[in-house]
Amino acid sequence: MLCALTCFSVYGQEAEVEEKEDVEELVEKGPELNFRSIFMNTQNRSYLPDYYALAVGGHLKWTSGKLFGFRFGAAFYQTNAVFKNFTRDDEGELESRYEASLFDVSFEETREISLLGEVFLKYEFKENTITLGRMRFNSPLINDQDTRMTPSFMAGIWGESKQLDRFTFGLGYFSHNAPRSSSRFYTIENSLGVSSESRAITGREENYEGNVRTAGIFLGNVRFHDPDDDMYFIDIWNYYTHNIFNSLHFEGRLQKDLGPATWEGSLMFVQQNKVNNGGNPELEKAYFQNPSSRFVSSRLQAERNQNKYSLAYTHILPGGRYLHPREWGIEQTYTNPSRERTEGTADTHEWLLLWEREYRNRLEGFTTKASYGIFNRPDVMNVPNNKYLLPSFHQVFVGVEYSFSGVLSGLEIEAFFTRKINRGNTYNNPEFVHNKVDMNHISIILNYTIPN
């Protein structure tokens, strides 16, 4: 009896101490403050307009400590224009593509963004987490695509378990989305078409914005990765968008040391299928119009000393456009071109040669990148296979990044130059050239995060 009372007393003291520590942790964390600035400049052919813009902003985020396993978090995002030149030309037809995307895509009159992007409650127990609310979410197809002032956000519930050694399991549901550079959340069905204009497979303008019907996105993930051995990596995702389409995404990587270099072979495969009528019984009001689509992407990479070299190839097979709403994220193929997308095409071939170097010693913090890509797209008149009427092109990319240390830790600067050279038939039509090919683009990004 005395032993039992003693044990109970000790347990009670431990529980009391643990509860006290939880309460102290709940309030001990301060806010995270982020400042971001992006300058963009696009130079088109001489007879077409050029554009530039500078935006500043950032976010203020607070995440609590744990109390009985629960955390609460919220983040407010703001973007303002310093100067900009991306208005339509004198004839009211041509407008900036990249610079305008720094600001509010939903309301062209303001072009500024104020958004409570994150409001979430997270429960953590052992190796499991459940997050409910508005959140930044990252996966191969749904992600925050954080290359503008304000990222994409999803609203719903996401649960993840790492309790089984070397395996991660995830399951979730999303009901709302705030597209990148947007100042509001939309239901999943109303988010489609907010930030893109395109053509139906019939050749006429698509009209699915506001006309598709879905109950939301149901998604799941199984990942195998040994943190102590990077030799194998397998990642499988399934995205089921009710009443519209289903995407199954597979990625596998094999890594091995051979001689002085570390070699890695990667393979990615996506299979898509229409669900019911693709969102609407009228073809031009449906989002997913082909019965199915698929693509394969592969990469061979060698890493030696401070350098990485890779050669990648992606092929979207004939028979159906690969589709994924641009409002929800960017597809992450191994040939993903800077400031461009693969989405919306069928029967395409892409090659990318990439070099990357991370410097050490006196230049530690510097990273340089350079790439050359060939992107073969269907003819711009082949609308069933080319949703956004983008011609084939070569692309040259050069970029540099620097992460500061010491008193300026948290400050990062990135600058890159992209040159896109036409290699397709544009039929002397400026619509197929403007902001698409025979253009230069420069971006300078400053990002400073003061951690909590």
CA distance linking residue 287 with residue 192, whole number of Å: 8
Is the model more confident about 289 or about 109? Answer: 289
Over residues 96-113, the mean pLDDT reads 82
CA distance linking residue 161 with residue 408, whole number of Å: 36
Q: Minimum mean pLDDT among 55-59, 185-189, 447-451: which range?
A: 447-451
Over residues 9-35, the mean pLDDT reads 59
* pLDDT tens readout for residues 158-211: 999 999 999 999 999 999 999 999 999 999 999 998 877 788 898 888 889 899
318 pLDDT higher than 70: yes
Query: Considering the entire predicted model, what is its pTM?
Result: 0.92
Residues in the chain: 452
pLDDT of residue 227: 76
* pLDDT tens readout for residues 394-411: 999 999 999 999 889 999
CA distance linking residue 323 with residue 346, whole number of Å: 9
Q: CA distances (Å), 430 to each of 196, 232, 344, 439, in order?
A: 19, 48, 20, 12
Q: Minimum mean pLDDT among 13-17, 35-39, 216-220: which range?
A: 13-17
pLDDT of residue 361: 82
pLDDT of residue 17: 41
97 pLDDT higher than 60: yes
Over residues 51-74, the mean pLDDT reads 94
60: which 2 tokens? 């203020």
pLDDT of residue 99: 92
Q: Which long-range CB contacts under 8 A does 391-394 form with residues at least 24 apart?
A: 391/422, 391/423, 391/424, 391/425, 391/426, 391/432, 391/433, 391/436, 391/437, 392/422, 392/423, 392/424, 393/420, 393/421, 393/422, 393/423, 393/424, 393/436, 393/437, 394/420, 394/421, 394/423
SS3 72: strand
pLDDT of residue 353: 98
98: which 2 tokens? 């990249």
Over residues 422-429, the mean pLDDT reads 96
* pLDDT tens readout for residues 366-375: 999 999 999 9
Mean of pLDDT over the chain: 90
pLDDT of residue 384: 94
Task: Tell how far CA 336 is from the center of its chain.
Answer: 11
Please tell me the CATH superfamily of domain 34-450, with its number. Porin (2.40.160.10)
pLDDT of residue 287: 95
* pLDDT tens readout for residues 131-160: 999 999 999 999 998 888 999 999 999 999
Q: What is the 3-state secondary structure (H, E, C) of 31-56?
A: CEEEEEEEEEEEECCCCCCCEEEEEE
Query: Are the C-beta atoms of residues 377 and 345 closer than 8 Å to each other?
Result: yes
In one-letter notation, the amino acid at residue 412 is: E
Residues 6 or more apart from 8 whose CB is under 8 A from it?
none
Q: How confident is the model at residue 7 (pLDDT cuts 50, 70, 90)?
A: very low
310 pLDDT higher than 90: yes
Is the model more confident about 110 or about 329? Answer: 329
Cα first-last separation, the chain: 48
Per-domain residue ranges of the chain: 34-450
* pLDDT tens readout for residues 327-381: 999 988 999 888 888 999 999 999 999 999 999 888 899 999 999 999 999 999 9
Q: How confident is the model at residue 12 (pLDDT cuts 50, 70, 90)?
A: very low
Q: CA distances (Å), 140 to each of 247, 301, 396, in order?
A: 11, 19, 24
* Number of Cβ atoms within 10 Å of the Cβ of 142: 23
CA atoms within 13 A on the CB side of 21: 7
Q: CA distances (Å), 234 to each of 28, 64, 284, 333, 384, in order?
A: 38, 33, 37, 15, 33
SS3 100: helix
pLDDT of residue 205: 86
In one-letter notation, the amino acid at residue 130 is: I
pLDDT of residue 240: 98
Task: Tell how far CA 96 is from the center of its chain.
Answer: 21
15 pLDDT higher than 60: no
Secondary structure letter of residue 341 according to DSSP: -
Task: Tell how far CA 239 is from the center of its chain.
Answer: 15
CA distance linking residue 197 with residue 401, whole number of Å: 32
Q: How confident is the model at residue 434 (pLDDT cuts 50, 70, 90)?
A: very high
For residue 228, count CB atoms less than 10 angstroms from its CB and return exposed for 0-12, middle for 13-18, buried for 19 or more: exposed
6 pLDDT higher than 80: no
pLDDT of residue 109: 66
Query: Are the C-beta atoms of residues 366 and 414 closer than 8 Å to each other?
Result: no
| DSSP per position, 110-164 | T--EEEEEEEEEEEEETTEEEEEEEE----SSS----SSSS--EEEEEEEEE--S
Is the model more confident about 49 or about 195? Answer: 49
Residues 6 or more apart from 17 whose CB is under 8 A from it?
none
Q: CA distances (Å), 51 to each of 88, 212, 437, 440, 442, in order?
A: 10, 34, 15, 11, 11
